[in-house]
Amino acid sequence: MSNPSSSSSSPPPPSSPPEHVSKADCLFCKIRDGQIPATIVYRDERVLAFKDIGPKAPLHQLVIPLDHIETLAEAAPAHEALLGHMMLTAAQLARDAGHGDKGFRVVMNSGVGAGQTVFHLHLHILAGRSFGWPPG
């Protein structure tokens, strides 16, 4: 007997959580899923932003894609709009925190040699102090 609810063409019920590309044991996937606590400052259907646990400036937030992408080096053309959305989200969060005029820095470390320690792509937003150049 056919079961209408098992039809492959049926949309998921409204209460179903969204599916995201995930990697087991990824710290930031766990923050995304609420398995590890974090101070969330923004979330939409594509990105999540939260306070860095070890702030390197008075404002230090991280913007991550909800989908697990390991590094910027592995990002694909299909991620172009997502990466732009991450940048615009970072700018909005910096403005919201009052740093739009004074200035802020965004940083994305890609790979061990650049200092990446968590392999779920993320954009750092840093503000509230002066910054040297070139970065260390």
Euclidean distance between CA atoms 108 and 126, whole angstroms: 11
Amino acid at 19: E
Euclidean distance between CA atoms 99 and 119, whole angstroms: 28
Residues 94-123 that bind ligand 5GP (CB under 6 A): 109, 115-118
* Smaller CB separation from ligand 5GP, 23 or 51: 51
Burial class (CB in 10 A: 0-12, 13-18, 19+), 106: middle
- Residue 40 in contact with ligand 5GP, rule: CB under 6 A: no
Residue 122 among the catalytic residues: yes
| Binder of Zn ion out of 120, 122, 123, 125 (CB under 5 A) | 120
- Residue 41 in contact with Zn ion, rule: CB under 5 A: no
Euclidean distance between CA atoms 72 and 10, whole angstroms: 35
Amino acid at 86: M
In the complex, minimum distance from the CB of residue 12 to ligand 5GP, in angstroms, rounded to a whole number: 30
Question: Which one of 68, 99, 120, 122 is the catalytic residue?
Answer: 122
The CB density around residue 23, as the number of other CB atoms within 10 Å, is 14
Which option in Zn ion, ligand 5GP, none does residue 115 bind, with CB closer than 5 to 8 A by kind? ligand 5GP
Contact 50, 41 (CB under 8 A): yes
Active site residues: 122
* Contact footprint for Zn ion (CB under 5 A): 23, 26, 28-29, 68, 120
* Contact footprint for ligand 5GP (CB under 6 A): 27, 36, 38, 50-54, 109, 115-118
